[in-house]
Amino acid sequence: MSDQNGLTATVASWAATQSTPPPEVQHHVKRLVLDHLAGVVAGATTPVSRAVAAHAANSYGTTGTGATGIGAGRLSALGAALVNGTSAHGLEVDDGYTPGSVHPSAVALPAVLAAAQEHGSDPQRTLTASAIALELTCRLAAAGHPSTWRNHFHNTPLAGVMAAAAGVSALLGNDARRTSDALGIAGSHAGGLFEFLGQSAEVKRVHPGKAARDGIASAQLAAAGVTGPHTVLEGGHGYFAAFARDDWDPGTVTTSLGQRWVLLDTYVKPYPSCRHLHGPIDAALALRERHGLTTHDVVSATVGTYTVATHHAHTDAASFLDAQMSIPYAVAVALSRGTVTLTEFDDDTRAETDIRRLAGAVTVHTDDIAQAAYPTARPATLTLTLRDGDTVSATVEQPYGEPANPMTDESLTGKFHGLIDPILGAEAAGKLADAVWAFHDLGFLDTADTLLRTGTTS
């Protein structure tokens, strides 16, 4: 490792003094807000989000301005962040950053937007604070990944709570010392275990909401004078020592910080599933179209990919969440349906005999070339054995939605409509999208909440 001295101080100073980001960064933040809002509105309809909303209504009420928990109404900023962060991750449609295997917006945006509403921040300050939180989520996660994953931690809440604390600190006007305090406090909130995999354990959905809530609390406590360790990132008992052990790179956090914005390298998801499934899905869709295949034509399949993805090799998609985490199921349903939307993960689809048969015939293994490319890329090679004895294969180097294979603004808006139109209607969804792109204020949060709960904007 390179010299770690002063890492926390460097991060805190940057966050506390960051000026308005470049136009391309501001535009990308708006893209992520649009994508985030779609995920929150759609995710708010799920049972786990409704349970969290009810909990928040009982525990995080507000007597002041508060903030908007979409589907829950006005709450304190802490409650709104908990609700919206949970919903954002509720359907596996949230953006990500491949080098850090992290979902930046699911924590950063609920925290900053809720704090901005409660604090009355202007749009430009809100965009800047959002950019700070998103940037630090990406950098902190990438600095420790895949060591953090090997140590069984979920990077989204882990890096997310730290970055959210810094972003909200910037929003509140905390100076560098208070921002160091906020980071130090957030370090005691950092966590999130991967034991949910393969167990249909919905606590995974709550991870970003909890981290967003705790990021706000850390910044608020620091502003009130509570102190935290100013070496929380680099210290011998600190964040990286605890979660990444000896295998992390401080330079990933600090190199060109404020000059090169790595948040521009975030991806947006075209399919509502774990990102590790997207390369195999792209390959399955390509082979289906190229060869005119149906599930009947396919006897078995193999997926060669990077090691982290091979932990998503379970074939039993007993629940919606299990299906969203299963490469075999994703390959089978993509070959069967030729599309992968939320419908492809519902109870009826998961029960289809042909899909279940084919999912059971898919094996997943580590491919050395793919492993060498990860985490910079997410390669996957899908090979199908057909009934006539032939084999066909396709390799995807970067899944659709990555910077090297991007979704346009128009495609992203189309995804927004695909998630929101069935819930709020096309006209209302269009107005919400226009409001996000304009970003004159945060009124779109209240509008979305009112529409979702009452069906009206009055």
Q: How confident is the model at residue 141 (pLDDT cuts 50, 70, 90)?
A: very high
User: CA 424 to CA 70: how far, in whole Å?
Assistant: 13
Closest CA to 367 of 352, 353, 382: 382
pLDDT of residue 457: 52
Q: What is the mean pLDDT of residues 235-242?
A: 98
* DSSP structure string for 185-197: HHHTT---BGGGT
User: CA 94 to CA 444: how far, in whole Å?
Assistant: 19
How do the domains of the chain map onto residue ranges?
7-265, 275-396
Q: How confident is the model at residue 106 (pLDDT cuts 50, 70, 90)?
A: very high
Contact criterion met (CB below 8 Å) for 398 and 405: yes
Using a 10 angstrom Cβ sphere, with 0-12 exposed, 13-18 middle and 19 or more buried, the burial of residue 458 is: exposed
Cα–Cα distance list, 267 to 25, 29, 309 (Å): 14, 12, 17
What is the model's pTM?
0.92
* DSSP structure string for 121-144: --HHHHHHHHHHHHHHHHHHHHHH
- DSSP summary character for residue 427: H
Helix count (H) and strand count (E) of the chain?
22, 6
Q: What is the mean pLDDT of residues 148-157?
A: 97
User: CA 29 to CA 437: how far, in whole Å?
Assistant: 10
Q: Each residue of 290-334: pLDDT tens digit?
A: 999 989 999 999 999 999 999 999 999 999 999 999 999 999 999
CB atoms within 10 A of CB 311: 15
Closest CA to 25 of 172, 156, 127: 127
When the pLDDT of each residue in the chain is averaged and rounded to a whole number, the result is 96
Is the domain 7-265 a CATH 1.20.1250.20 member? no
Q: How confident is the model at residue 5 (pLDDT cuts 50, 70, 90)?
A: low
Instruction: Name the CATH superfamily for 275-396.
Output: 2-methylcitrate dehydratase PrpD (3.30.1330.120)
pLDDT at 338 over 70: yes
Q: Each residue of 398-448: pLDDT tens digit?
A: 999 999 999 999 999 999 999 999 999 999 999 999 999 999 999 999 999
